[in-house]
Structure 1
Amino acid sequence: MIKFDGFFISIKHYKFMKNIKVLFLCLLVVGIVSCKQSGSSTDVIKAEKKTDANGLSYETVTNDPTGLRLYTLENGLKVYLSKNTDEPKIQTYIAVRAGSNYDPKNSTGLAHYLEHMVFKGTHKIGTLDWEKEKEYLKKISDLYEQHRTEEDPEKKKAIYQEIDKVSLEASNFSVANEYDKMTASLGATGTNAHTSFEETVYHNKIPANELNKWLDLEAERFGTLVLRLFHTELEAVFEEFNRGQDNDGWKSYFAMLEGLFPIHPYGQQTTIGTGEHLKNPSMVDIHNYFDKYYIPNNMAVVLVGDLDFDATIKKVNETFGKMEKKELTHPTLPKEEPITQPIIKEVFGPTAESISISYRSKGVNTNEQKLITLCDMIMANGNAGLLDLNLNQKQLVQRASSYPTFNIDYGYHSFSGRPKSGQTLDEVKSLLLEQIEKLKKGEFDEWMIDAVVNDLKLSQTRQYENNTALANAYYEAFIHRENWVDKVKFLDDLKRITKQELVDFANSFYKNNYVLVYKRRGEDKNIFKVANPGITPINLNRDKSSEYIQAFNKVKSKPLQPKFIDYKTAIQATKTSNDIEVSYVLNEKNDLFDLNIIFDMGSDNDKKLSLAAGYLEYLGTDKYSAEDIKKEFYKLGVDYYVSAQSDKTYVGLRGLKENLSKGLELLEHLWDNAKADQEAYDKYVEKIYKGRQDGKTQKGNILWGGLMNYGMYGENSRLRDIMQIDELKAINPEELVNLVKDMKNYKQRVFYYGKDVNNAVTALNAHHKIYGDLKEYPEAKKYEQTETGGNVFFTNYDMVQTEMLFLAKGKPFDPKNLAASRLFNTYFGSGLSSIVFQEIRESKSLAYSAFAAYDDANKKDDPNYVLAYVGTQANKLSQAVDAMMDLMNNMPEAEKQFNAAKEATLKKIAAQRITKSSIFWSYERLKKLGIDNDNREEMYNTIKNMTIKDLKGFFDENIKGESYNVMVIGNKKDLDVKSLQKLGKITELDVDYLFNYVDKKEVKQ
Structure 2
Amino acid sequence: MKHLKLILAIAIITFVASCKKSNSGDVAVKTETQKDANGFSYESVSNDPTGLRLYTLDNGLKVYLSKNTDEPKIQTYIAVRAGSNYDPKESTGLAHYLEHMVFKGTDEVGTIDWETEKKYLDTISNLYEKHRAEKDPDLKKAIYKEIDRVSLAASNYSVANEYDKMSSSLGATGTNAYTWFEQTVYTNKIPTNELDKFLALESERFSQVVLRLFHTELEAVFEEFNRGQDSDGRKRYAAMLEGLFPNHPYGQQTTIGTAEHLKNPSMVDIHNYFDKYYVPNNMAVILVGDIDFDTTIKKVNDTFGKFERKEVQHPELPKEEPLNSVVEKEVFGPTAESISIAYRSGGVNTKDEKLVTLADMILANGNAGLIDLNLNQQQVVQYAGSSPTFLNDYGYHVFSGSPKEGQSLDEVKKLILEQIEKLKKGEFEDWMLDAVINDLKKSKLQEYESNTAVANAYVNAFIHNEKWEDKVKFLDDLKKVTKQELVDFANSFYKDNYVVTYKRKGADDKIVKVQNPGITPVNLNRGANSKYIEEFNKMQSEPLKPVYVDYASAIKKTETESGIKVSYIENETNDLFDMNIIFDMGSDNDKKLDLAVGYLEYLGTDKYTNEELKKEFYKLGIDYYVNTGSEKTYIGLNGLKENLPKGLELLEHLLDHAVPNQEAYDKYVQSIAKGRQNNKTNKGSILRRGLVEYAKYGENSSLRNIIPVSQLNQINPQELVSLTKHLKNYKQRVFYYGKDIDNAVAALNTSHKVSSELKDYPEALAFNELETGGNVYFVDFDMVQSEMMFLAKGEPFKPENMAASTLFNTYFGGGLSSIVFQEIRESKSLAYSAWSRYSTANDKDDSNYVMAYIGTQANKMPEAVDAMMDLMNDMPESEAQFLAAKESTLKKLAAQRINKSNIFWSYERLQKLGMSEDNREAMYNAIKDMTIEDLREFFNKNIKGEDYNVMVIGNKNDVDMKALSKLGKVQEMDVDYLFNYEKPEEVKM
TM score, norm. by length of structure 2: 0.98
Task: For residue 990 of structure 1, report the CA deviation from its aligned partner.
Answer: 1.2
2:663 counterpart of 1:679: yes
2:143 counterpart of 1:159: yes
CA distance in 2, matches of 1:868, 1:31: 53
Give the counterpart letter for 1:194 in structure 2: Y
Q: Report 1:141-156 matches (<5 A).
A: 141-156=125-140
Give the counterpart letter for 1:301 in structure 2: V
2:682 counterpart of 1:704: no
2:399 counterpart of 1:421: no
The equivalent residue for 2:537 is 553
The equivalent residue for 2:335 is 351
Secondary structure, counterpart of 1:818 in structure 2: helix
CA distance in 1, matches of 2:957, 2:988: 36
Say whether the 8 Å CA contact 1:199–1:479 is kept in structure 2: yes
Say whether the 8 Å CA contact 2:567–2:735 is kept in structure 1: yes
Give the counterpart letter for 1:875 in structure 2: N
Choose from 518, 533, 556 the match for 2:517.
533
Q: Report 1:202-241 matches (<5 A).
A: 202-241=186-225
CA distance in 2, matches of 1:472, 1:962: 43
Choose from 423, 434, 438 the match for 1:454.
438
Choose from 225, 240, 260 the match for 1:256.
240
2:580 counterpart of 1:602: no
Say whether the 8 Å CA contact 1:358–1:413 is kept in structure 2: yes
Choose from 33, 37, 52 the match for 2:11.
33
Secondary structure, counterpart of 2:365 in structure 1: coil
2:115 counterpart of 1:131: yes
Say whether the 8 Å CA contact 2:114–2:157 is kept in structure 1: yes
Say whether the 8 Å CA contact 2:562–2:756 is kept in structure 1: no
2:928 counterpart of 1:950: no
Say whether the 8 Å CA contact 2:14–2:575 is kept in structure 1: no
Choose from 750, 758, 771 the match for 1:774.
758
Secondary structure, counterpart of 1:92 in structure 2: strand
2:607 counterpart of 1:629: no
CA distance in 2, matches of 1:33, 1:570: 28
Choose from 154, 167, 185 the match for 1:170.
154
CA distance in 2, matches of 1:707, 1:440: 48
Say whether the 8 Å CA contact 1:709–1:719 is kept in structure 2: yes
Choose from 784, 800, 811 the match for 2:795.
811
Secondary structure, counterpart of 2:503 in structure 1: strand
Q: Report 1:30-179 matches (<5 A).
A: 33-38=11-16, 42-179=26-163
Query: What is the alpha-carbon root mean square deviation over aligned residues?
Result: 1.1
Give the counterpart letter for 2:124 in structure 1: I
Deviations 1:11-35 (A, max 9, x none): xxxxxxxxxxxxxxxxxxx997333
The equivalent residue for 1:269 is 253
> Higher mean Cα deviation, 994-1003 or 924-933?
994-1003
The equivalent residue for 2:396 is 412
Task: For residue 37 of structure 1, report the CA deviation from its aligned partner.
Answer: 2.7
Give the counterpart letter for 2:425 in structure 1: K
Say whether the 8 Å CA contact 2:26–2:476 is kept in structure 1: no
Say whether the 8 Å CA contact 1:31–1:654 is kept in structure 2: no
Secondary structure, counterpart of 1:34 in structure 2: helix
Deviations 1:853-879 (A, max 9, x none): 000000012010000000110110110
2:160 counterpart of 1:182: no
2:739 counterpart of 1:755: yes
Q: Following superposition, which runs of at least 4 residues in structure 1 exceed 2 angstroms of deviation?
A: 30-43
Secondary structure, counterpart of 2:537 in structure 1: helix
CA distance in 1, matches of 2:602, 2:78: 46
Choose from 270, 273, 276 the match for 1:292.
276
Q: Report 1:320-399 matches (<5 A).
A: 320-399=304-383
The equivalent residue for 1:890 is 874
Say whether the 8 Å CA contact 1:347–1:520 is kept in structure 2: yes
Deviations 1:479-506 (A, max 9, x none): 0000000000100000110000000000
Say whether the 8 Å CA contact 1:188–1:204 is kept in structure 2: yes
Deviations 1:700-742 (A, max 9, x none): 0110011111111111111122111110000000000000011
Deviations 1:24-58 (A, max 9, x none): xxxxxx99733353357533111000001111100
CA distance in 2, matches of 1:31, 1:345: 46
Give the counterpart letter for 1:459 in structure 2: S
Give the counterpart letter for 2:881 in structure 1: Q
Choose from 393, 401, 414 the match for 2:385.
401
Secondary structure, counterpart of 2:940 in structure 1: helix
Say whether the 8 Å CA contact 2:27–2:476 is kept in structure 1: no
Q: Report 1:553-592 matches (<5 A).
A: 553-592=537-576
Aligned length: 977
Alignment identity in percent?
72
2:619 counterpart of 1:641: no
Change (3 A) 1:625 1:866: same
The equivalent residue for 2:5 is none
Say whether the 8 Å CA contact 2:624–2:651 is kept in structure 1: yes
Say whether the 8 Å CA contact 1:643–1:651 is kept in structure 2: yes
Choose from 923, 942, 948 the match for 1:964.
948
Task: For residue 993 of structure 1, report the CA deviation from its aligned partner.
Answer: 1.3
Structure 2's unaligned 5+ residue stretches are: 1-7
Secondary structure, counterpart of 1:883 in structure 2: helix
The equivalent residue for 1:197 is 181
2:416 counterpart of 1:438: no
Deviations 1:566-596 (A, max 9, x none): 1000001001000000000111111111000
CA distance in 2, matches of 1:439, 1:282: 50
Change (3 A) 1:131 1:31: farther
Give the counterpart letter for 1:344 in structure 2: E
Task: For residue 775 of structure 1, report the CA deviation from its aligned partner.
Answer: 0.5
Say whether the 8 Å CA contact 1:33–1:592 is kept in structure 2: no
Secondary structure, counterpart of 1:974 in structure 2: coil
Secondary structure, counterpart of 1:860 in structure 2: coil
The equivalent residue for 2:909 is 925
CA distance in 1, matches of 2:439, 2:516: 51
The equivalent residue for 1:823 is 807
2:677 counterpart of 1:689: no
The equivalent residue for 1:845 is 829
Task: For residue 981 of structure 1, report the CA deviation from its aligned partner.
Answer: 1.0
Secondary structure, counterpart of 1:33 in structure 2: helix
CA distance in 2, matches of 1:310, 1:660: 41
The equivalent residue for 1:788 is 772
Say whether the 8 Å CA contact 1:31–1:656 is kept in structure 2: no
TM score, norm. by length of structure 1: 0.97
Choose from 785, 789, 797 the match for 1:801.
785
Task: For residue 844 of structure 1, report the CA deviation from its aligned partner.
Answer: 0.2
2:966 counterpart of 1:989: no
CA distance in 1, matches of 2:845, 2:939: 21
Secondary structure, counterpart of 1:181 in structure 2: helix
Say whether the 8 Å CA contact 2:14–2:574 is kept in structure 1: no
CA distance in 2, matches of 1:199, 1:1003: 49
CA distance in 2, matches of 1:42, 1:31: 11
CA distance in 1, matches of 2:26, 2:89: 50
Say whether the 8 Å CA contact 1:824–1:951 is kept in structure 2: yes
